[in-house]
Structure 1
Amino acid sequence: MKQEKTTKKSRLLRGLGILAAVVVLLAGAFFWYVSDYYRAEDVALAVAENGSGLTVEDNLTVLAPSVPGDTAVVFYPGAKVEAEAYLPLLDKLRQNGLTCILVDMPFHMAIFDADAAGDVMARFPQYSHWYIAGHSMGGAMASQFAADHPESVDGLILLGAYMYGDYPPADTLTVYGSLNQSVEDKLDYTENVVEIQGGNHAQFGNYGPQKGDAVATISAEEQQAQTVEAIVNFVEQRQTA
């Protein structure tokens, strides 16, 4: 009897040891995966260093024009991309009068905090018109937030992404590069869709070439300039409608 109890205890300890080893291996694999992300290029870091109209509050970077209005854009970065990579794009929007609030996501993946926009809106009650935007997976999670909280947003802005969830295309701006075939194949709507000729997937941010992405035939600066124009026009049209 005593030997039987000892055997059961040994099996239990061995099982727990195996389970612990599996957990450690999975945790290690996860942290290895999320630590391998795209870093912001120098041109993006220069925007942060310049600091014009830019403040950092916890995991939020706020880019505000000299005379802020009542409209703000919450921005979700693409998966495994350093948030600062989008500062050049957002700074151009700031220069066009839009306040932009960039969310630095847990593990650089918006999927871990898709509802972050709700906290942002509560934190900045001075803005009465909100747009939620995102690139790639960030766009998918922004789309999910808009679908879940349509009363909270005036519009959805997708960059290199397509709608995920039930949100009206009429209230959505979709911008993608003509060389980003995977996005084009998923679009089943045509309203408020802007295709940037020669653009690719990665150049909405400044983080270098992305694995599997086509080589753009225009510069990141040109792709972002056209993106800013599309966003500003979209917001202005909705504000005056």
Structure 2
Amino acid sequence: MSKRKMPLRKKLLIAGAVVLAVLVLLTGAFFWYVSDYYRAEDVALAVLSGEDGITVQDDLTILSPSTPTDTAIIFYPGAKVEAQAYLPLLDQIRQTGVTCILVEMPFNMAIFDSNAAEEVMEQFPEVEHWYIAGHSMGGAMASQFAANHPDEVDGLILLGAYIYGDYSPADTLTVYGSLNQSVEDKLDYTENVVEIEGGNHAQFGNYGPQKGDAPATISAEEQQKQTVEAIEEFIGSRSAA
């Protein structure tokens, strides 16, 4: 006696149900993953309430220096790090006379909007000299943007990251902590590289210890101070050229 074949419609319904179940599981896993991110510490959030010259405009936080400038830095945060964690660093940079524009990324991951800088540039036509910067994955995406738009940026600034894509080390400042071995192992260039002795991966921002990161032997304040000095020197040398 032959087996009765399952109707095609029923097969399609079962297949559709399986696909839907897989999609639901994957979607749930994704949102679980991105919801577990590093929050900005109170010292970072305090910058928003305690300083003049800082404005929030949709997904941008603009930190303006006390005097007008034609130079600005667009900053991409590290993966799964709340953007506001970088406010203490950027607040110090803007005090050197450079506008800083912090981009809040979708799901706190720059990989989902690596070209965000294009829209930022359109909103600030008065800026003549653009630098794009980022930390960790944010640095990788900033590097990718610079490589794809070399005529639109004056330089690239990487923190705890290395050049990703075809962009010249001569136009790049790379800053990393001496305890961030994973970055040091990937560097295949030496030009404009600054190693901060005792620094680690996380302390470019203020979001607490990061999983897998070595404890720093210097404070976050000291690591950020040296970072600001390196950035000021890098931009200054290019402005004078």
Instruction: Please indicate the TM-score interval, normalised by the length of the shorter structure.
Output: over 0.9
Equivalent pairs counted in the alignment come to 239
CA RMSD, aligned part only? 1.2
Q: How does 1:218-233 map to 2 (within 5 A)?
A: 218-233=218-233
Q: Structure 1 stretches (4+) deviating beyond 6 angstroms?
A: none
Partner in structure 2 of residue 184 of structure 1: 184
Q: How many angstroms apart in 1 are the aligned matches of 2:155 and 2:140?
A: 14
Distance 1:147 1:8 in 2: 51
Give the deviation of 1:5 after TM superposition.
8.8
- SS of structure 2 residue aligned to 1:107: helix
Gaps of 5+ in 1: none
Q: Secondary structure at the match of 1:84?
A: helix
Q: Hey, what does 2:28 align to over in structure 1? A: 28
Map of 2:102 onto structure 1: 102
Question: What SS does the aligned partner of 2:72 have?
Answer: strand
> Distance between the aligned counterparts of 2:28 and 2:46, measured in 1?
33
Corresponding position: 1:125 with 2:125: yes
| Residue type of the alignment partner of 1:123 | Q
Cα distance in structure 1, aligned partners of 2:179 and 2:52: 33
Q: Do structure 1's residue 171 and structure 2's residue 171 form an aligned pair? A: yes
Query: In the aligned structure 2, how far is the partner of 1:172 from the partner of 1:20?
Result: 46
For residues 118-142 of structure 1, the C-alpha deviation after alignment (integer angstroms, 9 at most, x for no partner) is 1101110010000000000000000
In 1, Cα distance between equivalents of 2:72 and 2:95: 13
Distance across 2 between alignment mates of 1:139 and 1:176: 11
Choose 116-125 or 50-59, whichever is displaced more. 50-59
The match for 1:59 is 59
2:93 corresponds to 1:90 = no
Structure-2 separation of matches of 1:104 and 1:145: 16
CA displacement at 1:6 relative to structure 2: 6.7
Q: How does 1:132-171 map to 2 (within 5 A)?
A: 132-171=132-171
CA distance in 2, matches of 1:181, 1:231: 21
Q: Post-superposition shift, 1:26?
A: 0.3
Output the CA distance in 1 between the equivalents of 2:168 and 2:97: 26
Q: Which TM-score applies when normalising by structure 2?
A: 0.97
SS in 2 for 1:157: strand
Give the CA deviation at 1:68.
2.2
Q: Which moved more, 1:6-15 or 1:71-80?
A: 6-15
CA distance in 2, matches of 1:38, 1:56: 20
